[in-house]
Amino acid sequence: MRRLRNVKIVATLGPASNDYDTIRALHEAGADVFRLNMSHGSHDEIRERHRIIRQIEKDLESPIAILADLQGPKLRVGVFANDAEELEEGAAFRLDLDPAAGDITRVCLPHPEIFAALEPGARLLVNDGKIRLIVQDCGQDFAHCTVEVGGTISNRKGVNVPDVVLPLAALSAKDRDDLEFVCQLGVDWLALSFVQRAKDVFEARALADGRASILSKIEKPAAVEAFDDILDASDGIMVARGDLGVELPVSAVPPIQKRLVRKCRTAAKPVIVATQMLESMIESPMPTRAEVSDVATAIYEGTDAIMLSAESAAGSYPIEAVQTMNKVAIEVEADPTYHQIIAASRTAKGTTIADGIVAAAREIAEKTDIKAICCFTQSGTTALLTARERPGVPIIAMTPATGTARRLCLSWGCHCVMTPEQERFKGAVVSAARAARSGGFATDTDQIVVTAGVPFNVPGTTNILRIAPCDERLIYNTDPG
């Protein structure tokens, strides 16, 4: 299914989008990737959503990526005798391991690993930062705090600890069970929550054992500091602005977003910008102007994908939210300023033959009347390198590997086409021309750029570039081999 834009749209599924008709409508409206949030829904519900997506993929003959988002460890306070208390600024408040119900002076925080890492002066943020505590004194089983920002604290509210690296694995026991479950189902991407260091990614990769690509969610200050190592260890990145905006000043999030997107582009690894992009559309059929500008900003930065969370999972207007993102993307990418920004932010990297070929393909396509770049790819690497170039013409990623086609649905500009395994380059060029014509990218009178690796079906061998006519008679008359 051809999109008239390059940026991809990720839609989260949930109670508002859990049947065949709605999920198909979301895909037809523009959703390229479906996110299964493992924080919500039983395994039976997740399995059914997965089945529906694969049925739609089969019915429409359109590759669809499935992203399973692991919950990660959840840090929460215990319960209160009165269910809630009102903390006043300047008051003393204690957190400890005592399971007894809390009161106005204390509450249980059943996470000894937090106390092991705390130091005086560290901040504890409760209920998405609405309550802020400053640690004055702490030990292995307690923390005496002063209330910096007061408010209502109630049962099992979440806790963020932004100032220290916690000795917690990114994968809880639930995450390990969920990871094995979704890998057996056959998801394409695993989103890893609570990443603090590259070691967290290595653990998830070992458990996935090649069955899914690993996407690291950047939502903690420690992850921002260790980002280069995390990026090296990951297959993709999600800029998860929710917790990031809680643990860091909200004013710091936009420049961080811009830096992370730029680094991902340089590394040729897909990046998603996520959280509250069209938040008002949970309840309204129209977004705010600020939300539209937020979506547009991410697109202007060259992000691979933009994501809907509750808007498509639990909102009243899931299809309209996808349609809105789609319209904004088309409008932005038609803006001459967009192409200027993308070109100015392009960063050359790499000295391999493949790097040179994809750079040349982009240069030729933009300076001549070329309608598309068709890249044959086994593992997806050639398509990712081509996407890194952010060319001004469509990228047709041709692969015999179903998993590769699905994973590339997350990557900027990649229109994924399944093709039989090729043995001769002439046959590959003919297949590329047919894909360009049938997809509406070109006509018989047009030309395309074809990149491939010879011998075929060997990952990492991109070594040939051909300017080819879309008229098959001309291919057979002029192409060697």
Distance, in Å, from the CA atom of 355 to the CA atom of 44, rounded to the nearest integer, reads 44
- At residue 393, φ and ψ (nearest 5 deg) are -125, 160
Q: Catalytic pick from 76, 327, 346, 434?
A: 76
Query: Which residue carries 């809105």 as its tokens?
Result: 324
Query: What is the rounded CA–CA span in Å between residue 439 and residue 53?
Result: 22
Q: Which of 5, 8, 12, 35 is catalytic?
A: 35
* Closest listed residue to residue 12, CA positions, set 214, 326, 322, 312: 312
Q: Can you say how many angstroms the Cα of residue 41 is from the centroid of all Cα atoms in its chain?
A: 20
* DSSP annotation of 19: S
CA dihedral angle for residue 225, residue 227, residue 230, residue 232, rounded to 10 degrees:
-140
Q: Which of 12, 275, 381, 462 is catalytic?
A: 275
Q: Is 275 a catalytic residue?
A: yes
Does the active-site annotation cover 443? no
CA distance 240 to 168: 19
Q: How many CA atoms lie within 13 A of 377 on its CB side?
A: 29
Catalytic pick among 123, 217, 241, 388: 217
Asked about 76 being catalytic, the answer comes back as yes
CA-based nearest residue to 52, from 70, 41, 64: 64
Tell me the residue ranges of DSSP E strands in 296-446: 305-308, 370-376, 395-399, 414-418
Secondary structure of residue 390 in the 3-state scheme: coil
CA dihedral sign of residues 428, 434, 439, 442? positive
Positions annotated as catalytic residues are 35, 76, 217, 275
